[in-house]
Chain A
Amino acid sequence: MVFTEDMFLYYFLPLVLAVYYLIPFDKNPKPGRSRYWMRNLWLTLMGYLFYSWFEPWFVLPMMFTNVADYLFGIYLGRDDIAPRRRKLVLAVSMVMNLGLLGVFKYGVFTQVNLNHLLSLVGQPVFSVLQIAFPIGISFYTFHSMSYIIDIYRGERPVKSFADFSCFVSLFPQLVAGPILRYNVLSQQLHSRTHSLNLFARGVMLFFVGFGMKILLANPVGRIADAAFAAQSPHAMDAWWGVLAYAFQIYFDFNGYSVMALGLGMMFGFELIRNFNAPYHSDSITDFWRRWHISLSTWLREYLYISLGGNRKGERRTYINLALVMLLGGFWHGAQWQFIFWGAIHGTMLGLERWGGKKPFYANLPRQVRVAFTFFVVLITWVFFRADGLPHAFHYLAAMFGMTQPGPFADLLKAEIYQFHNLLDMAICAVAVVQPVQSYEFCRTLTWPKFAVGFGVFLVGVVMMYTQAFNPFLYFQF
């Protein structure tokens, strides 16, 4: 199910909200059980329903992960377990989670590359077994892993299965984040505040996020789609296309994240924000503090620190940094282009760290630094959007005028420079450059803000009827 389609908006959301608020608190919960356990159970069931809408059987691996990690957590939480055994349980859980991810997400990639290797050494290749990719598996696997790692590190495990599975399958963040760490949500699963103010702020965030997706991301996405689909575009058209993609991915993913925050608030949860004006970054280090914050935080806490972080010497720090970014890239998709994308970011982070966490262009005026950072990010988005590594290099070559435009390349201009395209891009540019971020904008509520928010939402709903089904970009990860 997608937040911006009829089913979610008109049936699922009102149903979940109505039943949720009709379910009473457990005034005398059993020890270890939250007073919201029934509401958490309802959210869990609705999370499964939400998820199964994509494909009913997808829910099976998620349920398996839920049950297994719940049991692993209970076991790890016991005080009488020897350290070696704790390590073993942790390892088993990690192997299970990463194994599921490996089979479903990286199975085809592994087979295809194995075939490449076999053909290189002159061996016969085998028929690639097609494996369906359950949407959002990367996200809920990371949720589940964070729980086990946090328990291993000393957090108390949840007693109630409803509470635990609610954490993993909470529908606002189930398929595209924000990626939650268990230690952030554990308290809220147990006791959280349901207030009218929080609910109203959640509604406002939902309105704003909905507008970002329908009114900004989807229209400019058509420009990006046309430019990237072209065989050999002119240089200017290729730049226009990647700029459109930069806007699309930002408003698509930020729109989703803001809606997820809003939906969370409607149920009393305060999830973490995922974006903070990333295109205002003046270095790549700064970019990763502002872009997909929940992923970079997760990777830092569970991977970078586990690898030793910066505590094992300078050389090891650089290796850790590169490894984290490479794996971060690979997490996005089982394709070489994502690894390359991660490698470029890792290299830039390393270069910047080499200068003492300051970019080598630190002495330039801020506007120039921001522009340079955006330029680097644009280049990396090519790898993110392309249909494979060869296409990414071809597209980059087109951007720099190093390819011969296709015989009909001029026709692309008719598709991507219509008046409405120019207007959509201009609105996106203003929305990116202006300083007010949706999170801050929705912190306090006023009547004018209501008019803006509800107006955007209504226009979004109307526009939704004129757009084709257009799921969020991050669903593919």
Chain B
Amino acid sequence: MRKLEWTFVAALLAVCAGFPLFQSIHEMTVDKDAPHVLDLFRKSPTKENLHHWDDNAKDRSVFAKWLRPPTLQLRYNLLGEMAPKSVQGAEDWLFYNQDVDYLLQPPYTDERFYKGAFDTLIEGKRVNLRDPRVAITDFRDRLKARGIELLLIPIPGKPSIYPEKLYAGFQGSPVSPTRALIDDLRAQGFHVADLFGPLMEAKAKGAPQLYLRRDTHWTPQGLEVAADIVARAIRDLGVIPQATVTSQVPKFALQDTLVDRWGDIAEMTKVPDRKKIWALENVKADRVIEVLTGAPYKDDPASPILWLGDSFSRIYQTDAPGSAGVIAHVAYRLNRPLASIVNDGGASTVVRQQLARRGELLKDKKLVVWTFVERDLRFGSKGWQVQELP
């Protein structure tokens, strides 16, 4: 009996004392570093320092590094389970859970949207900074004071356009809550380009796939639909002199390229064998090149149009094949280069913070095009902060 009881004690100690002991020895011998546990005594015990230490411990854990990959692989093989950020759809499509949650959860017009957020006083008015309209209105007004117009482009998430690829039995007419925001903003006098209708229309007409199967982003075909709409919206605004838009010799041309996209959601699954499980997607992308030199499209900081965007603006643009993203395609359609600030996942606030640090970019601008993926209305990095401009 005592042998059994001692075995229980030994089993507990083997894990609870053995793991950290092994970790410390590993850190000293393999990593040639002081044991991480000693860091606890090097800084004052504030909440931030303690939690930072916790996070570091998780990152440095030898056992986590060893055990996590085979566990994730086994869970996928046995149960089809993936890391929580990704959702398995039909026909090998993968979806980003924030894209799905944005459509499932209450929209900005619902009281629950503001749970845990508190009203803030701005110029004597009570506003809630979780409400995207507050930051959008503020930004519009600050630009207007400088004589600059604002064009808003909410970008549909993949499940808004392809809900049936997430759940094969999807029924009903998918109307994203973002369309209510578009109507609301238009009613308040904002310039907003609607990409939802044209993308759904293109899909209904049998257009090639508009979003990548295992990526959060659109295909080159999807972005070209968007580029058409945005370029038309910019022209219709009339802030850029027509002469410079239409009556010039074409500056740019298109060049066919093929590009392999692996898929950011496939990466998010963290399944070690993901590259064996899912094939690469090979898509045709039109690269924008300068007619005179054949050089790939390049931004022009002096352009009267400034583009603010997230990874939907980065894909194919600075990623392979380069100069084939939505910015280049809008420039191609407008026959003039644009200036841009692009930050992955940061379209709600970070791009405006970057703009505030690069105030010179606003010089001689006539128009700011602000694009953001619709899920950022709920999950935008740093929320929707009011941001002063220099």
A positions within 8 Å CB-CB of B:
5-7, 9-11, 13-14, 18, 52-56, 127-128, 130, 196-197, 199-200, 203-204, 206, 222, 226, 229-231, 387-388, 390-391, 406-415, 418-420, 423, 445-447, 450, 453-454, 457-458, 461-463, 465-466, 468
Contact = CB atoms under 8 A, between A and B. Distances in A.
Nearest to A14: B17
A203 B13 CA distance: 10
Contacts of B11: 203, 450, 454, 457
Q: Which 3 A-B pairs have the closest CB atoms?
A: A200-B5, A200-B8, A420-B79
B57 A408 contact: no
A419 B64 contact: no
Contact of B61 (A391, A457, A465): A465
A447 B118 CA distance: 56
Contacts of A454: 8, 11
Give the residue among B84, B115, B169 with the most A Cβ atoms within 10 A: B84
B172 A414 contact: no
A411 B163 contact: yes
Which of A231, A412, A418: most chain B Cβ within 10 A? A231
A411 B101 CA distance: 9
Contact of A468 (B45, B84, B105, B173): B84
User: Chain B CB within 10 Å — which of A56, A408, A457 has the most?
Assistant: A408
Given A229-B101, A466-B83, A206 B163 contact: no
B47 A55 contact: yes
Nearest to A412: B104
B138 to A, nearest CB: 21
Interface residues of B, number: 68
B8 A10 contact: no
B46 A56 contact: yes
B61 A230 contact: no
Contact of A200 (B4, B101, B170): B4
Interface stretch (B67-75, B221-229, B230-238, B281-289): B67-75
27 contacts: A6-B57, A7-B57, A10-B23, A14-B13, A14-B16, A53-B50, A197-B1, A200-B6, A203-B9, A204-B8, A231-B104, A231-B110, A231-B112, A388-B111, A407-B103, A407-B172, A410-B171, A414-B89, A445-B4, A445-B8, A447-B4, A450-B8, A453-B8, A454-B8, A465-B67, A466-B71, A466-B72
A111 B347 CA distance: 36
A200 B5 CA distance: 5
B45 A465 contact: no
B163 A203 contact: no
B100 A203 contact: no
A16 to B, nearest CB: 10
A407 B172 CA distance: 7
Interface string B43-86: 00111001000100110010110011001100100011101100
B258 to A, nearest CB: 31
A226 B104 contact: yes
Contact of B105 (A18, A231, A410): A231
B174 interface: yes
A418 B172 CA distance: 21
Contacts of A457: 11, 15
B115 to A, nearest CB: 5
Nearest to B160: A408
Task: Select the residue from B16, B57, B79, B112 with max chain A CB neighbours within 10 A.
Answer: B16
B97 interface: yes
A53 B115 CA distance: 26
B154 to A, nearest CB: 16
Contacts of B80: 418-420
B106 to A, nearest CB: 5
Contacts of B166: 411, 414
Contacts of A406: 104
B5 A407 contact: no
A462 B13 CA distance: 16
A113 B68 CA distance: 47
Given A231-B104, A414-B88, A418-B88, A466 B75 contact: yes
Contacts of B134: none
Given A56-B47, A466-B75, A414 B167 contact: yes
A407 B175 contact: yes
Nearest to B169: A410
B301 interface: no
A415 B102 CA distance: 13
**For A200, A450, A458, which residue has the most chain B Cβ atoms within 10 angstroms?**
A200
Contacts of B87: 414-415
A11 B169 CA distance: 49
Contacts of A204: 8
Contacts of B101: 226, 229
B170 A458 contact: no
A466 B68 contact: yes
Given A11-B20, A418-B81, A446 B68 contact: no
B348 to A, nearest CB: 20
B167 A413 contact: yes
B7 interface: yes
B174 A408 contact: yes
Contact of B8 (A203, A409, A415): A203
B5 A14 contact: no
Given A200-B9, A203-B12, A230 B111 contact: no
B5 A411 contact: no
B37 interface: yes
A151 B356 CA distance: 64
Contact of B58 (A6, A127, A461): A6
Interface in B98-155: 100-101, 103-107, 110-112, 115, 118, 121
A230 B104 contact: yes
A461 B15 contact: yes
Given A206-B12, A387-B112, A408-B174, A414 B100 contact: yes
Interface in B168-219: 169-176
B309 interface: no
Given A56-B45, A465-B67, A468-B84, A10 B4 contact: no
B263 interface: no
A381 B17 CA distance: 39
Contacts of A128: 118
B105 A196 contact: no
A189 to B, nearest CB: 24
B278 interface: no
B159 interface: yes
A231 B106 contact: yes
Contacts of B97: 415
Q: Which of B106, B111, B159 has the most CB of A within 10 A?
A: B106
Nearest to B20: A10
Given A411-B170, A414-B166, 12 more contacts: A7-B57, A9-B19, A56-B47, A200-B6, A203-B11, A410-B172, A411-B166, A418-B88, A420-B75, A420-B79, A450-B4, A457-B15
B2 interface: yes
Interface in B1-35: 1-2, 4-9, 11-13, 15-17, 19-20, 23
Nearest to A468: B84
A259 to B, nearest CB: 12
